[in-house]
Structure 1
């Protein structure tokens, strides 16, 4: 199947020599428009619009970026629990129509209790996952029910609910989720279309894919898989490793390298998994490099693939062979790396995936 490539846009120029996150800080409309246009020109299919308890509102960010692009899709991070699911269903369906079907949703329940408190949510994490599952159930009813419907659950209770607007894509835009806890996996297996994971070694990835496929099969579902990496590219392999070490040195400078004030403490089970791999070795499968994950407490996408564009494309294709047909790729120099990926990496990845599909079909 065709490979899907996802980037990530921010709302203001990043500060510092190596940018770990792009969603915090102020907002520059001109930068946002240019950043989205750069991803579109580079050949990305979608861009992630992230969420924190202090960052710019994601739907509005995506709407503005959509106005300044022609085909680029938007994977909007969304935390259930802050608005009613019936309202969210109408909001998402409206966005889907107004952008010609350029929306996907990344459902997150919040890795940090402290950050959730900033938005007034004091539910513990496992409860948030149960709430999210119920939230998605109500949204799907709003998207698909021809008649008014009632719902009575642990967290939501509606009577006579109905939506005049249905998603442009049927039955609804793609639903992504991430997480490694039991609550996250249970929610995703039942309700979501794409399991989004941070980059892990190949053997561990194959095991996770098999386990989650079995979970989803219990609900008659066949999930897709997305994996996130930070490619570090250069014209030669030696130059790529030199660049990687310079980025690591910048991140290790005094201060908060993550921008989230976590003091390098892992906030979620997915982060703990990355730190476990980092403890077992700096490099896995020749190109998967983990020291930046270790240096940041593995907050967010910090699994690196280091090498020339040809080498990194081949590394990504090893995951493609396992069934990972979607990749979120972003760099530590966010704008310039997006341009470089479009010139050097994405074409090689797409050609390689087509060749693998052709060989399989022959």
Structure 2
């Protein structure tokens, strides 16, 4: 089973410990980040989506224009663009980039944030819409004669597209969400399922649920797990850096006032409380894991998840490159073959991942697969 690495390209430099600076869209930063990932051996880079962030397809288009091999996982929320138009937008970029597009479907778990874009559907309704949306995407990408569609959320007459995906296999659809509704939609319609970094036992449980959901439809999904690796020359130095990162976040929270709509993408913002804690199932899982302990499975660290309320990909593997690579191998043994990794110091960390971590993981996976073949 081949292993895939996904990094992260954003419109400007900003993390939980780095306040945003400069223009909201920094073309030079986008280009530099994309090139670091390409040269570092990443397969793809995630481009995130938020109700207040720059548009993800356009950011990916610029990043694709300065690279030649790097693929892009473009976060996309169903329902804000007509599915037929979205299908043509993604297919157009896929043609321009020669097959380097994948789409990460995010139905959305923060009601207040979704309302900023005018979406007032319930969670159940959103997943029903997502299911219908993805079926239309796939139908238009399949080509053929014009088609009609009569559904709960969309009515189409004579839909068709002159532009199709670059590869005959189509555009991969990744899916996030840990609720039963999300798992059911992923099992039926996604190509890959993405989970946030959890302890091995929790991750195995979630992988098992999604795998069972996909088997009901005679399908097999790829699995992706997301981490924020903290790597240093020694394990002690890595844990020291983790402590500094948590202290920086908590210091920021002591001076930043709460906002009406909670916390923006990748920004620690106000200290979590009953009013701003996210309620999506993935965040609830991280909150419960972080409440038990800050450390799990030897080097899984939940300090940032504790500080931010588990709002996003916020768990870390902490140690030397060799130790973190070995930890990632344990997730590979669960059937997870894609690793989405990004750091708290984006450019420096991406460079180090490409130099020290990715080659080690690929070597471990190659050895693992070779031993499996020998064992029969």
TM-score range, shorter chain: over 0.9
Once the two structures are superposed, what CA deviation does each residue of 1:188-230 show, in whole Å capped at 9, x if it has no partner?
A: 1111011100011111111211221111011111011000001
SS of the aligned residue for 2:228 comes to: strand
**1:153/1:142 CA distance change after superposition, 3 Å:** same
- TM-score (structure 2 length as normaliser): 0.92
SS of the aligned residue for 1:252 comes to: helix
Distance in 2 separating the partners of 1:277 and 1:82: 33
Distance in 2 separating the partners of 1:286 and 1:132: 38
- Deviation, 1:241, is 0.6
Distance in 1 separating the partners of 2:174 and 2:59: 19
Structure 2: gaps spanning 5 or more residues: none
- Deviation, 1:305, is 0.4
The aligned residue for residue 295 of structure 1 is 307
- Deviation, 1:145, is 4.1
- 1:286 aligned to 2:298? yes
Contact 2:110 2:278 in 1 (8 A): no
Distance in 1 separating the partners of 2:15 and 2:152: 44
The aligned residue for residue 13 of structure 1 is 13
Once the two structures are superposed, what CA deviation does each residue of 1:135-182 show, in whole Å capped at 9, x if it has no partner?
A: 011111111141111111110111111111111123421100111112
The aligned residue for residue 2 of structure 1 is 2
SS of the aligned residue for 2:286 comes to: helix
Over the aligned positions, Cα root-mean-square deviation in angstroms equals 1.8
Contact 1:24 1:54 in 2 (8 A): no
Distance in 1 separating the partners of 2:72 and 2:223: 17
Structure 1: gaps spanning 5 or more residues: none
Distance in 1 separating the partners of 2:14 and 2:34: 15
The aligned residue for residue 280 of structure 2 is 268
The farther-off stretch of 309-318 and 88-97 is 88-97
Contact 2:222 2:336 in 1 (8 A): yes
- Deviation, 1:359, is 0.8
Distance in 2 separating the partners of 1:267 and 1:337: 30
Distance in 1 separating the partners of 2:279 and 2:96: 36
Contact 1:180 1:269 in 2 (8 A): yes
Which residue, 274, 298, 312 being the options, matches 2:324?
312
State how 1:236-247 maps to structure 2 within 5 Å.
Answer: 236-247=234-245
The aligned residue for residue 118 of structure 1 is 116
- Deviation, 1:298, is 0.7
Once the two structures are superposed, what CA deviation does each residue of 1:4-33 show, in whole Å capped at 9, x if it has no partner?
A: 0000111113377x249x899711111111
- Deviation, 1:46, is 0.4
The aligned residue for residue 67 of structure 1 is 65
Distance in 2 separating the partners of 1:149 and 1:261: 47
Distance in 1 separating the partners of 2:134 and 2:2: 27
* Runs of 4+, deviation exceeding 3 Å: 22-25, 260-263
SS of the aligned residue for 1:155 comes to: coil
SS of the aligned residue for 1:165 comes to: coil
Distance in 1 separating the partners of 2:18 and 2:7: 14
**1:229/1:24 CA distance change after superposition, 3 Å:** farther
